[in-house]
Chains A and B, each alone.
Chain A
Amino acid sequence: DTEVTQTPKHLVMGMTNKKSLKCEQHMGHRAMYWYKQKAKKPPELMFVYSYEKLSINESVPSRFSPECPNSSLLNLHLHALQPEDSALYLCASSQSIDVYEQYFGPGTRLTVT
């Protein structure tokens, strides 16, 4: 099973709201990633977790707050977002941060109004 699941599929939120995106994998992978993707553009890396510890933060604004409660779960907490944050948010996982392929979830389509 090479499935990464993400919930919700769609999310509309106002600029004052607080919401969370959830990602789950049961492949025993020890690296998990958050990406942001605009239409027809490549994904942009936001965060990397390795063995449940944050290993990369690509200078992401503090209104995005990642959390890795256990090796199977990855959350992205959202607060006070801007309209330009509207995008497809993709979660991915890989066996480790070494040279293994990453498996992507279907994404959450976020619209900030």
Chain B
Amino acid sequence: AQSVAQPEDQVNVAEGNPLTVKCTYSVSGNPYLFWYVQYPNRGLQFLLKYITGDNLVKGSYGFEAEFNKSQTSFHLKKPSALVSDSALYFCAVRDSHGSGNTGKLIFGQGTTLQVKP
């Protein structure tokens, strides 16, 4: 069964410092990985995805993620955190079976990022 794990419930970082939000995955076949951010009382916003190609994926708002096949990880990073980056972050993997894609995303439990001034 496919799964995603976000090992940290919360990450605290000072403004201006680099941030990392961790994600590991378990899939059969090729992983299709996504990061989303959710601000309070809002829907999810797409940040970036890995389908194939370069292991370093660049996304919205200065975020990037590094795909590591050997460690089955897809950590979200930003070189310099902003207070406005404080939000709930979800890693997700596309569910797929031998019969094809289902459109279903499997989400991690989420990580709350707190950036302090």
Contact = CB atoms under 8 A, between A and B. Distances in A.
A101 B104 contact: no
A107 B42 contact: yes
Main secondary structure of the interface of B (DSSP, over half): strand
Interface in B35-74: 36, 41-46, 49, 51
B22 interface: no
Contacts of B105: 45, 102
Interface residues of B, number: 24
Contact of A43 (B41, B44, B94, B102): B44
A12 B4 CA distance: 34
B41 to A, nearest CB: 7
Interface in A54-113: 55-56, 90, 92, 94, 96-99, 101-107, 109
B103 A43 contact: no
A104 B45 contact: yes
Contact of A98 (B49, B101, B108): B101
Contact of A55 (B34, B46, B103, B110): B103
Interface residues of A, number: 28
26 contacts: A4-B43, A31-B103, A42-B107, A42-B108, A42-B109, A42-B110, A48-B104, A50-B103, A55-B103, A56-B103, A56-B104, A92-B44, A96-B103, A97-B101, A98-B103, A99-B32, A99-B94, A101-B49, A102-B105, A104-B45, A104-B46, A105-B43, A106-B42, A106-B43, A107-B42, A109-B41
Interface of B: 32, 34, 36, 41-46, 49, 51, 88, 90, 94, 101-105, 107-110, 112
